[in-house]
Amino acid sequence: MKKIFKEFKEFAIKGNVIDMAVGVIIGGAFGKIVTSLVGDIVMPAISLITGRVSLKSLALTVPVFNSDTAPIVIKYGEFLQNTLDFLIVAISIFFMVKVINMLKRKQEEAPKPPPKPSNEEVLLTEIRDVLKDK
């Protein structure tokens, strides 16, 4: 039992697992932001263009010949809404990853400090300094 606990502890403390957990949490929060963007900004703008309050209300009712059963409703508006949500999420994530990659490139391009002098150069510098003092 101790061996299993030790293995689990090593697994849970690895950087990749923690990074993944942070990514999932940030992804959930980012999902809320994108959902708000779609529901509160994009969809009202689309409703101005289409004259509809919501795409979800779009449906096609297929009449049934038997009056005892309910008509068949094809809710293509919900499909359109979900497709639009997906596209906006995908575009948002694309731009977020693009910005992160751009920031990483800037960090990588930071100037490197000059290399340390070799042991020979250090020794020669010490000898030069001793000779100057005499």
**pLDDT computed for residue 7 by the predictor:** 81
Q: What CATH number corresponds to the domain at position 84? A: 1.10.1200.120
Count CB atoms within 10 A of the CB of residue 81.
20
Name the pTM for this structure: 0.51
* In a domain? residue 134: no
**pLDDT computed for residue 91 by the predictor:** 84
Q: Is 35 in a helix, a strand, or coil?
A: helix
* Number of domains making up the chain: 1
* In a domain? residue 117: no
**pLDDT computed for residue 119 by the predictor:** 87
* In a domain? residue 95: yes
**pLDDT computed for residue 52 by the predictor:** 65
* In a domain? residue 49: yes
Q: Is 116 in a helix, a strand, or coil?
A: coil
* In a domain? residue 80: yes
CA distance 87 to 80: 11
Quote the domain boundaries for residue 37: 2-109
* In a domain? residue 127: no
**pLDDT computed for residue 95 by the predictor:** 85
Burial class for 101, CB neighbours closer than 10 Å (0-12, 13-18, 19+) = exposed
* In a domain? residue 118: no
* In a domain? residue 68: yes
**pLDDT of the chain along its 134 residues, tens only?**
888 878 877 776 766 777 777 788 888 887 788 778 877 887 788 778 877 667 777 888 888 887 778 888 898 888 888 888 788 878 877 888 888 888 887 776 667 778 888 888 888 888 888 888 87
Count CB atoms within 10 A of the CB of residue 85.
18
